[in-house]
């Protein structure tokens, strides 16, 4: 599948995915939506204002937004972006339509970074960490209601902690980054990347 990719290096498959199920997450009841409903959800998500905004900003930045940039699939994690391949929404992990929109928004941030960051190297732990911090912060993945649904009950300071937790889960799954390297990378780039809200004026 073609991707909206720039001149950056290839992304190891699924290393920039939305947060995969993790042993650190408390178990929650799951009702997986049928594949046909998921496909319809992807089509609907493309009309979401935030998704449309990101696609428009990518086009204005000169990124190639291919017709098949985003597709429904069956795979290991909730979703993922791979350079020059595009975005997969993993229907076997989707439970409700809003989750599809959140996943696409998250992965479009990665696609944007891959295109606009001309020297983006997904094998570089700091580069990957920066994009994960931005994607988790700007996509709404760490909204307090979403955290409460997962059993994370802390309200005060939950958003930065959630961003760090989710970013670590993704970066440590990069075959080029050990858990220690992932933690170090996240801490090293945190202030710059958490406050980098491009292409938004501020975090949505």
- Give me the active site residues, please: 107
Phi, psi (deg, nearest 5) at residue 164? -65, -45
SS3 label, residue 86: strand
| Residues in Cβ contact with 151 at an 8 Å cutoff, skipping those fewer than 6 apart | 25, 26, 28
Classify residue 8 by its DSSP letter: S
How many whole angstroms separate alpha carbon 157 and alpha carbon 168? 17
CB atoms within 10 A of CB 202: 7
Classify residue 98 by its DSSP letter: H
SS3 label, residue 5: coil
Tokens coding 50 = 């935030």
| Residues in Cβ contact with 37 at an 8 Å cutoff, skipping those fewer than 6 apart | none
How many whole angstroms separate alpha carbon 5 and alpha carbon 11? 10
Question: If we measure between CA atoms, which residue out of 70, 89, 71 comes closest to residue 79?
Answer: 89
């Amino acid at each position: 599948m073609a991707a909206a990719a720039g001149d950056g290096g290839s992304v190891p498959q699924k290393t920039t995915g939305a947060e995969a199920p993790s042993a650190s997450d408390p178990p929650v009841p799951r009702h997986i939506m049928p594949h046909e409903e998921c496909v319809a959800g992807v089509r609907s998500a493309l009309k979401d204002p935030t998704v449309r905004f990101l696609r428009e900003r990518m086009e204005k930045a000169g990124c190639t937004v291919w017709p098949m940039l985003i597709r429904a699939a069956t795979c290991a994690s909730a979703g993922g972006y791979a350079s020059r391949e595009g975005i997969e929404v993993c229907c076997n992990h989707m439970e409700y339509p809003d989750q599809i929109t959140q996943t696409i928004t998250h992965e479009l941030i990665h696609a944007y970074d891959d295109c606009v960051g001309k020297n983006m190297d997904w094998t570089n732990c700091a580069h990957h960490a920066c994009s994960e911090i931005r994607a988790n912060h700007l996509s709404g993945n760490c909204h307090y209601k979403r955290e409460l649904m997962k059993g994370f009950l802390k309200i005060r300071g939950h958003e930065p902690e959630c961003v760090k937790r989710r970013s670590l889960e993704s970066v440590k799954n990069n075959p080029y980054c050990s858990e220690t390297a992932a933690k170090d990378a996240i801490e090293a780039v945190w202030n710059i990347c958490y406050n980098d809200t491009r292409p938004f004026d501020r975090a949505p």
